[in-house]
Structure 1
Amino acid sequence: MNEKQRVLFSIACVYLRQKHKRRSVWVHKTIQARSRHGEYHRLVQELRLDEVRFQQYFRLDRTQFDELLRRVGPLIAKDDTRIRRAISPGERLAICLGFLATGDSYRTISFSYRVGHSTVAGIVADVAKAIWDSLVEDYMPVPTTEDWRDIASEFYHRWNFPNCLGSIDGKYVVIQAPSNSGSLFYNYKGTFSIVLLAVVDAKYCFRIIDVGSYGKTSDGGTLANSPFGNGLRNGTLCLPEDTLLPGADHLGPQPHVFIADEAFPLRRDLMRTKSDIRRVQRTVRMAEKTIGSVTAVW
């Protein structure tokens, strides 16, 4: 056996030894005590007796929490095994909402709820997807042509802005830079982020959102690369036909438009403005205010 073969043999022996090394502890004793001392089984149950503190903790009241659990429970329930009992849907939802409300690290939550670090990561991803899947059709369905007409009517009657279909804005959501991502997520503010793009109606309700664009992408680029932007270009959003503006019949039928600030491109169906007219500025800021009200809570 030559020197090269001896080195390869030694590496193989080390690999096999590590591969077959048994865990010193199958379940850590702190995790074994979850049902007695975990945050869900102690603090959360106590908070149920105090409506105010419960809402401060979860950003939802007890009725809302229970209704959300009823909807997502079947989607996030896991089966018990012969080795251990599964984490209940209620505890899974509590872990996810706790993360969304506080932004605590997975490790911090794993200690307080007495579950594994990787378990917390999996729970947050699974429950967040279940929340979206179970609620999106009821609370943010894809607008139909009639829906767009209703939105335009609301903008006119509430804000004196005819033919407006929504206010658009973007929000940088700060993240830890993924490995080997370079400057993809680095934005002009000097942080790493993904971008949330939102369309808001006259009642400050989200109608369309897109999440996940690279932080380095401008608002205009985010719009162009989003399904919403593709729909604008391709004419597949079921927007209403052109209509006359109130008191301006001489102008002929005018297009329905979305409104945004100067960071977005100017299009026939997208009004970009720096106008000092109060009604215009107020409408432009609606998406920004709506996003701000959400980020103040979550």
Structure 2
Amino acid sequence: MCIAHGTVGSQHIIVIMNPRVPLLYYWYTRIHKKRSVQRRFWVHPLLDHGPQREERFEKFYMNLREDEQEFYNYFHLSMASFDNLLSRLENSTLPRINTIMRMCISTKMKLAICLRYLATGCSMKELHFTFKVGTSTISGIITDVCSALWDVLHDDFLPSPTKTKWEEIAKGFDQKANFPHCIGAIGGKHIRSKKPELSGSSNVKNKDYYSIVLLAVVDSDYKFVYVDIGSYGTNCDSYNLKNTGLWEKLNDESLPIPDPTPLTESGKSIPFVLVGDEAFALHNNLLRPFGGTHLDERKKKFNCRLSQVRRYVEWAFGIMAAKWRILQRPVDTSITSTIEIVKACIVLHNFACERDGLRFDDSSEATSAMDNLENEPNPRAGAQANNIRSAFADYFMSPEGSVPTQ
């Protein structure tokens, strides 16, 4: 109950009212005041209007195209690759139509804004002053372009691997890393993000920062073969893997990987495997290092050979983060937009590797910007999985499998 005192003329009045009434009145006046605020400008004077904005951007864009290296430094893509992306996006749902109210932003300018954001990791406010476009508009452009990039690229540059593709990956690791029967290096990284609404501590990594998880399988050319994005940052790699379609297909044997074959002419048939670190649990199709500190020579050599393959996924993360530097800082968007940004970086990484080659600076610094996931406690694996790992360890000690550098 709430009692209010007041005076009308010479009379003192006491009013008894429901305690919710003052609170409702407060919120009513607050909302009404908020709605009554008038915008000062339809378009801020600092921003260019449609024709002037496009002319200004076109002049800047043409100046960039006069120097191939400067163009690459600005967008982290060659001119030929930029043109290829633009032609793909022109045939997507991204282009808009001019209206009598305003001119739409061209697809070329949208692509330039998005690539500059991904390549430098700069703030949207900085892009606002560079391109003379509103901050909220830039935020929408980045999400829309990233979504469109995934739609137009993932079928060509991140397709679902076939049995032939898995065989090619295994051949690549056998030739480059001296590790037979390997169909990919698997690993995970934290992508730092701002706190999601109503998320509690689900996305907190060690109570340090909020993040989502990028889980990926990489081939011997540092290109991504499979990705899973968006798991909670509190989970370890093994838990995230067990909640993916890849793990489900491995368990029900529906993944089109090659049939088991012997490592040597007289040996037993051994399945093809993924290679991971201590964050993953041992499985018939997934190898992890031997645990412990007092290891014999056989186990040490196995761990050494395994680490040579694991480095491919770490290098792939480092190359991607060095090129698309938005991954080196917390992504200041919603979780939905962050996932679209990471997906775009994945397909752009494969796209750039195939078209422009591995043009990157030292990636060691970039790798540290994306934290590893927590290790899985060394569980008791099945006898068959342990036998498969032992078969690889024996092979690496044999004359057929040993290499001079081990």
- Compute the RMSD of aligned alpha carbons: 2.6
CA contact (8 A) 1:156 1:162 kept: yes
CA distance in 2, matches of 1:246, 1:203: 26
1:294 to 317, 320, 325: 320
CA distance in 2, matches of 1:198, 1:10: 51
Q: Determine helix, strand or coil for the equivalent of 2:287.
A: strand
Q: Determine helix, strand or coil for the equivalent of 2:242.
A: helix
Please give the TM-score of this superposition, normalised by the length of structure 2.
0.67
State how 1:247-262 maps to structure 2 within 5 Å. 247=265, 249-250=266-267, 252-262=268-278
- Corresponding letter in the other structure for 1:294: M
Asked if 1:163 is matched to 2:181, the reply is yes
Please give the TM-score of this superposition, normalised by the length of structure 1.
0.89
CA contact (8 A) 1:34 1:114 kept: no
Tell me how far 1:223 sits from its aligned partner.
Answer: 1.2
Asked if 1:58 is matched to 2:58, the reply is no
- Corresponding letter in the other structure for 2:322: A
2:241 to 209, 219, 223: 223
Deviations 1:255-294 (A, max 9, x none): 1100000111110010011454343221121111111111
CA distance in 2, matches of 1:197, 1:183: 20
CA distance in 2, matches of 1:95, 1:197: 27
CA distance in 2, matches of 1:210, 1:282: 23
Structure 1 stretch displaced more, 41-50 or 238-247: 41-50
Deviations 1:98-154 (A, max 9, x none): 111111122221222111211111111111111111111111110011211222222
CA distance in 1, matches of 2:91, 2:37: 37
Asked if 1:91 is matched to 2:109, the reply is yes
CA distance in 2, matches of 1:185, 1:229: 22
CA distance in 1, matches of 2:276, 2:25: 65
Alignment correspondent of 1:186: 204
CA contact (8 A) 2:277 2:289 kept: yes
CA contact (8 A) 2:86 2:108 kept: yes
Alignment correspondent of 2:384: none
CA distance in 1, matches of 2:207, 2:308: 25
Tell me how far 1:12 sits from its aligned partner.
Answer: 5.2
CA distance in 1, matches of 2:153, 2:289: 34
Structure 1 stretch displaced more, 277-286 or 47-56: 277-286
CA contact (8 A) 1:243 1:254 kept: yes
Q: Determine helix, strand or coil for the equivalent of 1:192.
A: strand
Deviations 1:183-207 (A, max 9, x none): 2222138232211111111222211
Structure 1 stretch displaced more, 171-180 or 97-106: 171-180
Identity of aligned residues (%): 35
- Corresponding letter in the other structure for 1:163: H
Tell me how far 1:44 sits from its aligned partner.
Answer: 3.2
Q: Determine helix, strand or coil for the equivalent of 1:225.
A: coil
Number of aligned positions between the proteins: 296
CA distance in 2, matches of 1:119, 1:94: 14
2:61 to 44, 59, 71: 44
CA contact (8 A) 2:187 2:216 kept: yes
Structure 1 stretch displaced more, 284-293 or 22-31: 22-31
Tell me how far 1:2 sits from its aligned partner.
Answer: 8.9
Tell me how far 1:65 sits from its aligned partner.
Answer: 0.6
Larger Rg over CA atoms: 2
Alignment correspondent of 1:23: 39
State how 1:147-158 maps to structure 2 within 5 Å. 147-158=165-176
Tell me how far 1:208 sits from its aligned partner.
Answer: 0.7
CA distance in 1, matches of 2:34, 2:284: 64
1:110 to 118, 128, 146: 128
Alignment correspondent of 2:193: 175
In structure 2, the gaps of 5 or more residues are: 1-14, 291-298, 325-406
CA contact (8 A) 2:51 2:103 kept: no
Relative to structure 1, the CA distance from residue 32 to residue 40 in structure 2 (aligned partners, 3 Å threshold; closer, same or farther) is closer
1:266 to 262, 282, 286: 282
- Corresponding letter in the other structure for 2:137: T
CA contact (8 A) 2:50 2:102 kept: no
Tell me how far 1:19 sits from its aligned partner.
Answer: 3.5
Alignment correspondent of 2:310: 284
Alignment correspondent of 2:382: none
Structure 1 stretch displaced more, 119-128 or 234-243: 234-243
Relative to structure 1, the CA distance from residue 99 to residue 10 in structure 2 (aligned partners, 3 Å threshold; closer, same or farther) is closer
CA contact (8 A) 1:35 1:41 kept: no
CA distance in 2, matches of 1:6, 1:168: 59
CA distance in 1, matches of 2:26, 2:192: 45
Tell me how far 1:21 sits from its aligned partner.
Answer: 5.2
- Corresponding letter in the other structure for 1:157: Q
In structure 1, the gaps of 5 or more residues are: none
Q: Determine helix, strand or coil for the equivalent of 1:210.
A: strand
- Corresponding letter in the other structure for 1:297: K
1:240 to 258, 261, 264: 258
Relative to structure 1, the CA distance from residue 243 to residue 177 in structure 2 (aligned partners, 3 Å threshold; closer, same or farther) is same
Tell me how far 1:18 sits from its aligned partner.
Answer: 4.7
CA contact (8 A) 1:220 1:263 kept: yes
Greater relative contact order (Cα < 8 A, sep 6+): 2
1:68 to 57, 81, 85: 85
